[in-house]
Structure 1
Amino acid sequence: MPDRPLRADARRNRERVLAAAQEAFAAEGISVPLDEIARRAGVGAGTVYRHFPTKEALFEAAMVDRVERMTSSAREALTAENAGDAFFDFLQHMVAGGGVKRDLADALGPQRANAYEGLARELQTAIGELLSRAQQAGAVRADIGLAELMTILKGFFVAVHIDNANSGLQERAFAVITDGLRLR
């Protein structure tokens, strides 16, 4: 029997749990208790378990949601008139919107054997299209390919996560990266 669509209140609760989980996992890692995620979401633990039977299932769903949202944002940026601005704005969105977390760095990584590998590939494809458009518009160096860009981004995300970089350091490091990508 196919899955029935969730009732509106159940869908809202699921979205609140996912948002709280993303925030909690980003701040505390996967060790955060499910009861704490339920508290942050404003729901009971039973609601969390109804939607996500294990913490691993919740983590995976949170990552899938994050990557889907990032991919949607990248695809939307592809419709922008100014390809260079769209590319750099999207990169800024990745950094500001949670890109400085190790879980997103893992999702961006090459050949991951996990549930979001296909989604990560879709995200990389959209980023590659943004890069190509920006290069064709003369806004980004032509000698940077998608593989180099993804390596640079992943390195940035991991470095600022490991070092617990403050926002000023993150901004300066990101500025160095974007300056290096720009066509002079």
Structure 2
Amino acid sequence: MPITAVERLLTGDARPRADARRNVERLVAAARTAVAEVGVEVTAHEIARRAGVGIGTFYRRLPSREALLEAVLLDTVDEIIALAHRALDDPDPWHGFREFTYAYVQLRTASCGINEALGGDGGPGLEPALAKLRDAIRRLVERARETGALRADVAWQDVPFLLATVIPGARTIGLRAGADQWRRNLDVILTGLRASRER
């Protein structure tokens, strides 16, 4: 079971006081929301304000803004890896692959920060978790391809780039994207990825 952001941040404290733990929990919750809404550039002052604590408490309880953001982003990447492992356990390789892609894109759509982090703006501390995610995606793609559900000419490396294109901009040629536009985009991409005999 992966450790949580709060546990990562409290590793130095063998038995933190209850108020210290509560403050870290509040800061993690505030950071999670701020990262989703603002992105990885959110300031320590903004996180502290959202948590209802002073900036002094922020720096007494946490090593740095970067450490907090890394811990929060690692939580989400760990969640995505767990989704991939669940998809690998699905007896139907195409169903598992498809369900993973929906969950993956939905998480990217919901969080500006995770979208930025998966694009490379999360810092070097995320690299080991991203390597695990790449491996899980590779296994999902190869499994679907080997059973004939996924087109044979699709490399596993193509899939993360295709999934990154699913999230639309707010507007194009005077049209506004609806809330479910990402689902429609993903449906089109999945139809293109599926082996023709399975369509």
TM-score bracket relative to the smaller structure: 0.7 to 0.9
**Does the 8 Å CA contact 1:71/1:126 hold for their aligned counterparts?**
yes
Match 2:79 to one of 69, 75, 81: 69
Identity in percent: 31
Match 2:142 to one of 118, 132, 142: 132
Q: CA deviation digits over 1:41-89, x for unaligned, max 9?
A: xxx4466545434332222211111111111221122111111101110
Q: Give unpaired runs (5+ residues) of structure 2.
A: 1-10
CA distance in 2 between partners of 1:62 and 1:161 (Å): 26
Match of 2:8 in 1: none
Match 1:99 to one of 108, 129, 133: 108
CA distance in 2 between partners of 1:12 and 1:82 (Å): 43
CA distance in 1 between partners of 2:17 and 2:179 (Å): 37
Q: Give the deviation of 1:11 after TM superposition.
A: 6.1
Aligned residues: 177
Q: Verify: 1:176 aligned to 2:188, yes or no.
A: yes
Match of 2:4 in 1: none
**Does the 8 Å CA contact 1:67/1:120 hold for their aligned counterparts?**
yes
Instruction: In structure 1, give the amino acid aligned to 2:77.
Output: V
CA distance in 2 between partners of 1:87 and 1:6 (Å): 42
Q: Give the deviation of 1:117 after TM superposition.
A: 1.2
Look up the SS of the partner of 2:124 in the other structure. coil
Q: Give the deviation of 1:104 after TM superposition.
A: 2.9
Match of 1:34 in 2: 47
Q: Give the deviation of 1:37 after TM superposition.
A: 3.3
Instruction: In structure 2, give the amino acid aligned to 1:90.
Output: F
Q: Give unpaired runs (5+ residues) of structure 1.
A: none
TM-score when scaled to structure 2?
Answer: 0.72
CA distance in 2 between partners of 1:160 and 1:133 (Å): 32
Which of the pair has more CA radius of gyration? 2
Instruction: In structure 1, give the amino acid aligned to 2:182.
Output: Q
Instruction: In structure 2, give the amino acid aligned to 1:180.
Output: G
Q: Give the deviation of 1:36 after TM superposition.
A: 3.5
Q: Give the deviation of 1:154 after TM superposition.
A: 2.3
Q: Give the deviation of 1:177 after TM superposition.
A: 1.6
CA distance in 1 between partners of 2:65 and 2:123 (Å): 19
| Counterparts in 2 of 1:173 and 1:79: CA distance versus 1, 3 Å | same
Match of 2:7 in 1: none
**Does the 8 Å CA contact 1:84/1:139 hold for their aligned counterparts?**
yes
Look up the SS of the partner of 1:140 in the other structure. coil
CA distance in 2 between partners of 1:56 and 1:110 (Å): 15
CA distance in 1 between partners of 2:17 and 2:141 (Å): 38
Look up the SS of the partner of 2:125 in the other structure. coil
Look up the SS of the partner of 2:50 in the other structure. helix
| Counterparts in 2 of 1:4 and 1:127: CA distance versus 1, 3 Å | same
TM-score when scaled to structure 1?
Answer: 0.77
Instruction: In structure 2, give the amino acid aligned to 1:173.
Output: N
Instruction: In structure 1, give the amino acid aligned to 2:47.
Output: L
